[in-house]
Amino acid sequence: MRTIHFLLTGLALFALPLRSLGQGNADRFGDLKAKIATLLSPRLQPTALPEKPANPFTVLMSAAPVSVTTEIPVEPVPIPTTLDDDQILAFAVARLRISGLVQRGGVTHLLINSASYKEADLVPLRAGGDTVYYIRLVLIGDSEVTFGYNQSTLTVKLPN
């Protein structure tokens, strides 16, 4: 007799959740549809823009007067037409983009203008028009590099 009561109680407890699920199907998506409607309604029915919107580029005038100073025009210094080797080397090295050092097969290469060069290589540099200067890589150290052009040399610290 006790086993029958246990079976009937278990059956009743099992059937209770199934009955409640069947009743909730009608309103199952009601909250979701309301949420979608509130989020989508401003997109489907937007508010009208004003006929003449405010200009965001208006300049607000300050209360203090602005004084205008006149500057003396400075004439540019003419570039000399003949350059010596030191000037050419300084000009060329200033235009190089040194990226870093690379070890390849035990030989140190220097990354200049997205290309790698080792000691005694020539680095081409175009300087306005058809003029091309070839700067020699004389010595690559751990923290500095020495460039050469004809008889002049210039030592530059490497970027960290």
- Beta strand spans in the chain (E): 98-104, 107-112, 115-117, 122-126, 132-140, 144-149, 152-157
pLDDT digits (tens, 9 = 90+) for 100-138: 899 999 999 999 988 999 999 999 988 777 888 899 999
The pLDDT, as a whole number, for residue 124 is: 93
Beta strands 98-104 and 107-112, pairing class: antiparallel
Residue type, 115: A
**Exposure b/e, 36-58, CB count within 10 A at least 16 = b:** eeeeeeeeeeeeeeeeeeeeeee
Question: Who has greater pLDDT, 67 or 110?
Answer: 110
pLDDT digits (tens, 9 = 90+) for 1-44: 667 766 667 666 666 555 555 555 567 788 899 999 999 999 99
The pLDDT, as a whole number, for residue 6 is: 65
pTM of the model: 0.49
The pLDDT, as a whole number, for residue 15 is: 61
The full set of domain ranges for the chain reads 2-44, 85-157
Question: Who has greater pLDDT, 61 or 43?
Answer: 43
The burial of 112, by beta-carbon neighbours within 10 Å (0-12 exposed, 13-18 middle, 19 or more buried), is given as buried
